[in-house]
Amino acid sequence: MTDASLNSSAPTAAHISDGGFSDFFALLKPRVMTLVVFTAFVGLYAAPGGIHPLVGAIAILFIALGGGASGALNMWWDADIDRIMKRTRKRPIPAGRVTEGEAFGFGITLSAIAVTMLWLATNWVAAAILAFTIFFYVVIYSMWLKRWTPQNIVIGGAAGAFPPMIGWAAVTGGVSVESVLMFAIIFMWTPPHFWALALFMRSDYDDAGVPMLTVTHGRKSTRLHIIVYTLLLAALAVGIGFTSVGGPIYLAVSITLNAMFIKGAWQIWRRTEDDAEADNYKVEKSVFKLSLYYLFALFGAIALEAGLAPFGLGGW
Amino acid sequence: MGLAREHELHKRRFSRNLGLGLALVGLVAVVFGLTVVKVSTEEFTEPLSTVPFTGADAEQ
């Protein structure tokens, strides 16, 4: 084949749009990754024993990369509904900047690198939990639960809850009550967080046919679910304050934040759809925003307790 | 004859290639740093096959 023939058959820039580095980076869901990085760091930092700072940083890097890889695989699988939903229409695949095949290859390759490197850097337990997290998010949540059951968010939330357990396992080489409780906080936090979002992003999930609770059980039932899950979350989040990763600072932060979260969830429950439409879902939006700060502050308090412990200040 | 050096493909994929190149350099740095840490720790034991054989070993 000559250069001329090769070039004549090649597609031109006019009808093909190659994804740049930023598009591939966007496949990793960087905003979700910040949560993964932060909670994994807290799990790693709060764990008993120590880890070399460089190994710890490398562990967090590959936990984040594994989380990002699962995000890319999620975008590959959900490309069809991402094209429908307003919130996701500008993602690299629906926008035509990255092909589905590229996203799949990218996600699989990064998953393998992340798991292998985490194993080499730390231990097999941490790597196995990371591998399971990717599997859970892609296969159990994206492929199976998301389009099948309104409990998709409840069970699927586990995928986002594993990072502190992985961080903990990277140091200790195992699983303990504390790491399971940190997992449980994120697991219980996810449903009210997402349902608040689903309430004000109403048409998106309806249009895509995703069986969100708002679609299958109605908005009134979703409001009830939010308050119930928030109460369960509060009990758990305050309870962890009495374990070895908690302490007076965590307890004070936890009680304050949970009181605010319960107040917001209570307001959501008491409102009717007409009330919400009248003020453009003001309360739902503020609770969603609060839920983001809530998780960061709660895990920040756990990190603070661990950081103060060497000075005899943190913990009980 | 190879592809023209200034083919538009190169321009189109510059950011992707640059990003990939930097990511690979980063990976090399990470593996190097990890190796240095691993061999510097007390837990590291050198494989027997790389330890030089001495006469004292034979007498034992």
Q: What is the pLDDT of residues A193-228, one digit of tens each?
A: 989 988 887 667 777 777 888 888 888 999 999 999
Tell me if A22 and B12 make a contact (CB, 8 A cut-off): no
Within 8 A by CB and 6+ apart from A232, the residues are: A188
CA of B27 vs chain A CAs: smallest distance (Å)? 10
Q: How confident is the model at residue A6 (pLDDT cuts 50, 70, 90)?
A: very low
- The whole-angstrom separation of Cα A114 and Cα A68 is 10
Q: What is residue B28's predicted lDDT score, i.e. its pLDDT? A: 96
Helix spans in chain A (H): 3-9, 21-27, 30-46, 53-77, 79-82, 100-121, 124-135, 152-161, 163-172, 177-200, 202-208, 213-216, 219-239, 248-270, 273-278, 282-308
**Residues B5-37, buried b or exposed e (16+ Cβ, 10 A)?**
eeeebeebbebbeebeeeeeeeeeebeeebeeb
In whole angstroms, how large is the CA radius of gyration of chain A?
21
Which of A2, A13, A120 is closest, CB to CB, to B12? Answer: A13
pTM score, two decimals? 0.85
A279 burial level (CB within 10 Å; 0-12, 13-18, 19+): exposed
Task: Please indicate if any CB of chain B lies within 8 Å of the CB of A71.
Answer: no
Alpha carbon separation from A3 to A10, A18, B5, B14 (Å, rounded): 11, 21, 12, 21
Name the nearest CA neighbour of A130 among A47, A25, A44: A44
In whole angstroms, how large is the CA radius of gyration of chain B?
23
Tell me if A21 and B34 make a contact (CB, 8 A cut-off): no
Please give the average per-residue pLDDT across A55-67, as a whole number.
96
The ipTM of this complex is 0.75
